Amino acid sequence: MSTQAWLAEPRLTALLHDGPMEVVGRLRDASNTTLRCVIDADGVPLPSVYKPVRGERPLWDFPEWTLARREVAAFELSVALGWDLVPPTVWRDDGPGGAGMCQLWIDEDDERQHVGVVRPGRAPDGWREVLEAEDGAGQPVVLVHSEDSALARLAVFDALANNADRKGGHVLTDTTGRVWGIDHGVTFAVEDKLRTVLWGWAAEAVPDSILQDVEALHDTLGTAYDPVDRWLDDEERDVLRGRVRTLLRERTYPVPSGRWPAIPWPVF
């Protein structure tokens, strides 16, 4: 079954949470243990990504054993915004490696990339330049991204979630052209840690359609919205609300703070 078919499956959340799971591979380039799995959906293999808490590498600037929970919180924030930019993600208590997050695997179309590196002057029409640099041979290159409307929402999502690791490889396009954001383990920090390849709109006005959704989120969070809050501590919840208020007050895309590297490394 395709990604879109699984998204239409009413039992998807229950299957991710409880379905019999088998590990079929490991993503070796991932910083933390990231396992490719299949879940048995009455004989039909449901592809998924599973990240057990015990496989998380300790970080100096994030509390230990919280990255999988932040992945679930990021999914719930995307749902609360009405954007569905993050693949369905659940907390699973009984995975093969213990408790952790489980997420629908996205069938990616490698030919439909929204972030890239090009020679100066070679950016496709409608793409935005982010950073000038040099490649390994010392030749000039430019980091660019498209102006896709989903990407414009993803840039705001990252600002609200305080995403410290929006690499180019963390922006996927499925076989229908739909854009997804993945790998949200280092989000929701109290300190400003926004690092992203999506700086192309920096300081520009956020579209009204996006602000309307953020305003609705503001009202929702004001009622102690449990699906997001339950995965964060008290200070992280308060600071999330502060970021929402700041965006609604300034109504512009953020700019690099200068206190933290603005671009994640490696970029892809």
The string of pLDDT tens digits covering residues 180-206 is 999 999 999 999 999 999 999 999 999
Q: Are 236 and 171 in contact (CB under 8 A)?
A: no
Last residue of a domain, one of 104, 123, 146: 104
Question: 66 and 187 share a domain?
Answer: no
- Binned at pLDDT 50, 70 and 90, residue 215 comes out as very high
Same domain, yes or no, for 187 and 120? yes
Rg (CA), the chain: 18
Query: What's the confidence (pLDDT) of residue 44?
Result: 94
- 64 and 170 inside one domain: no
Specify whether 151 is located in the same domain as 39.
no
Q: Is residue 260 a part of any domain in this protein? A: no
- Residue 258 covered by a domain: no
107-125 pLDDT, tens digit per residue, is 999 889 999 999 998 888 8
User: Is there a single domain that holds both residue 51 and residue 151?
Assistant: no
User: What are the residues facing 118 on neighbouring strands?
Assistant: 142
Contact 166, 114 (CB under 8 A): no
Amino acid present at 62: F
What pLDDT, on the 0 to 100 scale, is given for residue 36? 96
Task: Give domain status of residue 109, yes or no.
Answer: no
Mean pLDDT is lowest, of 16-20, 71-75, 99-103, 218-222, for: 218-222
pTM: 0.95
At 207 the pLDDT is 97
**Domain at 19, CATH number:** 3.30.200
Quick one: 91 and 159 in the same domain? no
**SS3 state at 252:** strand
Query: Which of 104, 135, 152 represents a domain boundary (last residue)?
Result: 104
Q: Is pLDDT at 26 greater than 80 in this prediction? A: yes
pLDDT at 266: 82
Dist. CA 104–CA 116, nearest whole Å? 25
Average pLDDT rounded to a whole number, residues 71-76: 98
SS (H, E, C) 10-48: CCHHHHHHHCCEEEEEECCCCCCCCEEEEEEECCEEEEE
Locate 196 and state its tokens: 């992203």
Instruction: Return the percent helix, strand and coil in the chain, to nearest 5.
Output: 30, 25, 45
Tell me the residue range of the domain where 153 lies. Answer: 115-250
- Fill in the DSSP letter of residue 2: -
